[in-house]
């Protein structure tokens, strides 16, 4: 039997194959964060391909409005999520194990209009008065007007680094903004919020949870080498890993030993002064020792190198180099996108194996063929193979390979049309769903007539009958 289709133990369950669909936000929830029928269909469609593990998108653990992102911050979300897990079980013939990715994120504002920023948001200090040649008694309004009259370069020179960023990119909270009470309190609030969310996940029928410790969000920021908190939750490696370990302990205590609890984390941040692979391997070893059931490795996806958004839009953490490394395209430099991030999971796996054989490592990034997947497992670069965009392009691809019908796989072309939709918070679809399959003259048969809200795109992958 191929390694890819061999079972693998993942904490409390055994995945029937070593295949994995990682989290992908499809923008199909309501503004209230509910699992709509479209959300349920989206996961049902992945379940048709019967992956070993299917991870539901980054799901907010707080009960606060967060646009059409799925949420699990209150018990009222449980029935909708239960429909989702029931659908996955029914459509995969009970074979696919389903996890939910639990996320916390800090506030990020849209890039403001310059006049609005200078007129309202900027808090005026004496250094601003000095910069525009006004004396200390000058009214705020006079300082605002003088700043607004400056040529742009001079204005930037009159502002602090953080103010320049607030103006040019939109204000963004950091985990080391401990002058803000709710941020100082994160070590007190987050373990309970993650534990509550995990308990709801179990009530909704999930086989476990994936703690989102990756990319641009709160927990990854605690792990980041840029984290300069001085309260014991930042600075050196022990300080940076402290809250993630406390979150894990709180979740484990709440759900017990018979529910799988793993995390997604970065093998490398890919930003100046960011976390290196050696540090990531050290974190992973600590997680494994502390009872993490799996470690899924991603790369980059940070705000620090994001492109400047247009006025009125928010920065998107997948626009800079770190973002490109996170979802590599065919335009990326050597050695190309295919299996590009496997050296990270390989190094993490080696580190984890020093302390335990029981914690599988999930590899991801540009994996889209049987040969690549099988080689990744044979070479020991990971224990389970995750494919996001290839599974989006063709959710049935796992079954097609398993049935020896690989020539029918609709192949992802890795140019990130889907990611462009994610960036605009539009319903995510694959550009290939609206094209004829290769070698065929007619458009593919579609699963129902569901179309995106702009009416232009199929909302689901074309149907395939085995
Ligand atoms: C549309 C889209 C949404 C994504 N949403 C998430 C997410 O919610 N959480 C996460 O950890 N990764 C997310 N990712 C990243 C993928 O899980 C994966 O790490 C990345 O696409 C690289 O894998 P691939 O080359 O197999 O696509 C998303 C990717 C895409 C394309
Ligand atoms: S839209 Fe493009 S990159 Fe995204 S899954 Fe489809 S083919 Fe792949």
Whether 326 shows a pLDDT value over 90: the answer reads yes
CA of 318 to the centre of ligand 1 (A): 10
Cα–Cα distance measured from residue 365 to residue 101, given in angstroms and rounded to the nearest whole number: 18
Which atom belonging to ligand 1 lies closest to the Cα atom of 215?
A: 11
Cα–Cα distance measured from residue 160 to residue 149, given in angstroms and rounded to the nearest whole number: 18
Residue 447's pLDDT band (cuts 50, 70, 90): very low
Which member of 43, 117, 217, 316 is catalytic? 217
Cα–Cα distance measured from residue 328 to residue 325, given in angstroms and rounded to the nearest whole number: 5
Dump pLDDT digits (tens) for 163-205.
Answer: 999 999 999 999 999 999 999 999 999 999 999 999 999 999 9
Least confident of 25-39, 401-415, 444-458: 444-458
Number of the ligand closest to the Cα of 323: 1
Cα–Cα distance measured from residue 90 to residue 293, given in angstroms and rounded to the nearest whole number: 25
432 lines ligand 2 (CB under 6 A): yes
Please report which helix (H) or strand (E) contains residue 55, including its range. strand 53-60
Whether 438 shows a pLDDT value over 60: the answer reads no
How far apart, in Å, are the Cα atoms of 124 and each of 111, 112, 118, 129? Answer: 19, 17, 9, 8
Mean pLDDT, rounded, for 323-346:
94
Residue 437's pLDDT band (cuts 50, 70, 90): low
Active site residue 217: yes
Peptide bond into 335 cis (omega under 30): yes
Whether 445 shows a pLDDT value over 60: the answer reads no
CA of 261 to the centre of ligand 1 (A): 19
- Burial class for 341, CB neighbours closer than 10 Å (0-12, 13-18, 19+): buried
The closest residue, in CA terms, to atom 1 on ligand 2 is 430
Mean pLDDT, rounded, for 298-307:
94
Which is it for the CA torsion 260, 261, 264, 268, positive or negative?
negative
Query: What pLDDT shows up at residue 204?
Result: 98
Number of the ligand closest to the Cα of 341: 1
The closest residue, in CA terms, to atom 8 on ligand 2 is 412
412 lines ligand 2 (CB under 6 A): yes
Dump pLDDT digits (tens) for 398-422.
Answer: 999 999 999 999 999 999 999 999 9
The closest residue, in CA terms, to atom 29 on ligand 1 is 24
Which atom belonging to ligand 2 lies closest to the Cα atom of 419?
A: 4
Give which of 444, 110, 176, 120 is closest to 308, Cα–Cα: 110
Number of the ligand closest to the Cα of 212: 1
What is the rounded average pLDDT for all residues in the chain?
A: 94
How far apart, in Å, are the Cα atoms of 22 and each of 207, 267, 404? Answer: 15, 16, 23
The closest residue, in CA terms, to atom 7 on ligand 2 is 412
Least confident of 33-47, 53-67, 281-295, 440-454: 440-454
Mean pLDDT, rounded, for 425-440:
83
With a pLDDT cut of 90, the percent of the chain lying above it is: 91
Q: Kindly state the tokens that stand for 165.
A: 């960023």
On whether the CB atoms of residues 384 and 20 are closer than 8 A, the answer is: yes
Sole residue written with tokens 């799925």: 70
Residue 443's pLDDT band (cuts 50, 70, 90): low
Strands in 117-201 per DSSP E: none
On whether the CB atoms of residues 119 and 148 are closer than 8 A, the answer is: yes
CA of 120 to the centre of ligand 1 (A): 37
Mean pLDDT, rounded, for 240-258:
98
Helices 342-353 and 277-289 sit at what angle, rounded to 10 degrees?
A: 40
Helices 186-203 and 237-255 sit at what angle, rounded to 10 degrees?
A: 30
Residue 67's pLDDT band (cuts 50, 70, 90): confident
Mapped onto helix, strand or coil, the DSSP state of residue 440 is: coil
Whether 441 shows a pLDDT value over 60: the answer reads no
Give which of 203, 222, 341 is closest to 211, Cα–Cα: 222
Dump pLDDT digits (tens) for 271-280.
Answer: 999 999 999 9
Least confident of 208-212, 297-301, 362-366, 433-437: 433-437
- Burial class for 135, CB neighbours closer than 10 Å (0-12, 13-18, 19+): exposed
Number of the ligand closest to the Cα of 428: 1
Cα–Cα distance measured from residue 10 to residue 20, given in angstroms and rounded to the nearest whole number: 11
Dump pLDDT digits (tens) for 81-125.
Answer: 999 999 999 999 999 999 999 999 999 999 999 999 999 999 999
- Residue 369 dihedral angles phi and psi, to the nearest 5°: -135, 155
Query: Where is pLDDT greater, at 246 or 442?
Result: 246
Q: Which of 331, 416, 427, 462 to mutate to test the pocket of ligand 2 (most atoms within 8 A of CB)?
A: 416
CA of 23 to the centre of ligand 1 (A): 6
Which atom belonging to ligand 2 lies closest to the Cα atom of 416?
A: 3
How long is the chain? 466
Which atom belonging to ligand 1 lies closest to the Cα atom of 412?
A: 27
CA of 330 to the centre of ligand 2 (A): 11
Residue 382's pLDDT band (cuts 50, 70, 90): very high
Which atom belonging to ligand 2 lies closest to the Cα atom of 414?
A: 3
Strand pairing report for 13-15 and 8-10: antiparallel
What the chain holds in terms of domains, given with CATH numbers, is: 8-108+178-403 (3.20.20.70), 114-168 (no CATH)
Q: Which of 20, 22, 390 to mutate to test the pocket of ligand 1 (most atoms within 8 A of CB)?
A: 22
Strands in 317-393 per DSSP E: 361-363, 384-386
- Residue 88 dihedral angles phi and psi, to the nearest 5°: -65, -45
Give which of 142, 97, 422 is closest to 259, Cα–Cα: 97
- Residue 12 dihedral angles phi and psi, to the nearest 5°: -80, -10
Residues with CB under 6 A from ligand 1: 22-25, 57-58, 101, 214, 264, 298, 327, 364-367, 387-390, 418-419, 422, 428
Give which of 275, 210, 277 is closest to 248, Cα–Cα: 210
How far apart, in Å, are the Cα atoms of 274 and each of 220, 256, 420? Answer: 11, 34, 26
Residue 444's pLDDT band (cuts 50, 70, 90): low
Cα–Cα distance measured from residue 73 to residue 80, given in angstroms and rounded to the nearest whole number: 13
On whether the CB atoms of residues 97 and 49 are closer than 8 A, the answer is: no
């Amino acid at each position: 039997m191929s390694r890819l289709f061999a079972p693998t133990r993942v904490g409390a369950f055994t995945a029937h194959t070593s295949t994995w669909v990682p989290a992908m936000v499809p923008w199909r929830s309501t503004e209230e964060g509910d699992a709509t029928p479209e959300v349920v269909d989206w996961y049902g469609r992945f379940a048709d391909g019967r992956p070993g593990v299917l991870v539901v998108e980054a799901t907010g653990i707080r009960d606060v409005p967060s646009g059409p992102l799925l949420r699990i911050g209150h018990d009222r979300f449980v029935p909708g999520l239960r429909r989702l897990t029931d659908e996955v079980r029914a459509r995969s013939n009970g074979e696919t194990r389903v996890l939910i990715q639990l996320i916390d994120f800090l506030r990020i504002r849209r890039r403001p209009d310059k006049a609005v920023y200078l007129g309202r948001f900027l808090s005026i200090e004496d250094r601003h008065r000095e910069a525009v040649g006004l004396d200390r008694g000058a009214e705020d309004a006079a300082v605002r007007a003088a700043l607004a009259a400056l040529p742009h370069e001079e204005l930037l020179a009159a502002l602090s680094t953080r103010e320049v960023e607030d103006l040019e990119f939109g204000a963004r909270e950091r985990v080391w903004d401990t002058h803000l009470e709710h941020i100082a309190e994160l070590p007190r609030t987050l373990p309970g919020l993650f534990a509550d969310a995990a308990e709801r996940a179990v009530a909704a029928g999930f086989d476990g949870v994936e703690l989102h410790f990756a990319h641009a969000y709160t927990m990854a920021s605690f792990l980041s080498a840029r984290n300069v908190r001085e309260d014991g939750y930042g600075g050196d490696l022990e300080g940076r890993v402290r809250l993630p370990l406390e979150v894990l302990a709180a979740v484990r205590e709440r759900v017990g030993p018979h529910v799988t609890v793993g995390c997604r984390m970065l093998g490398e941040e890919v930003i100046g002064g960011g976390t290196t692979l050696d540090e990531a391997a050290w974190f992973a070893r600590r997680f494994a020792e502390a009872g993490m059931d799996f470690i899924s490795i991603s790369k980059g996806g940070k705000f620090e190198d994001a492109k400047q958004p247009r006025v009125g839009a928010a920065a998107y953490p997948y626009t800079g180099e770190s973002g490109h490394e996170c979802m590599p395209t065919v335009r990326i430099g050597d050695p190309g996108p295919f299996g590009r991030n496997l050296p990270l999971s390989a190094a993490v796996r080696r580190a984890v194996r020093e302390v335990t054989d029981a914690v599988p490592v999930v590899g991801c990034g540009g994996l889209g063929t049987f040969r690549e997947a099988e080689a990744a497992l044979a070479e020991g670069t990971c224990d389970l193979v995750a494919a996001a965009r290839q599974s989006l392009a063709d959710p049935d691809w796992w079954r097609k390979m398993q049935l020896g019908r690989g020539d029918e796989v609709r192949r992802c072309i890795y140019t990130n049309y889907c990611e462009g939709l994610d960036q605009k918070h539009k319903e995510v679809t694959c550009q290939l769903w609206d094209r004829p399959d290769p070698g065929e003259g007619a458009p593919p048969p579609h699963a129902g007539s569901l179309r995106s809200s702009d009416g232009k795109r199929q909302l689901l992958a074309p149907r395939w009958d085995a």
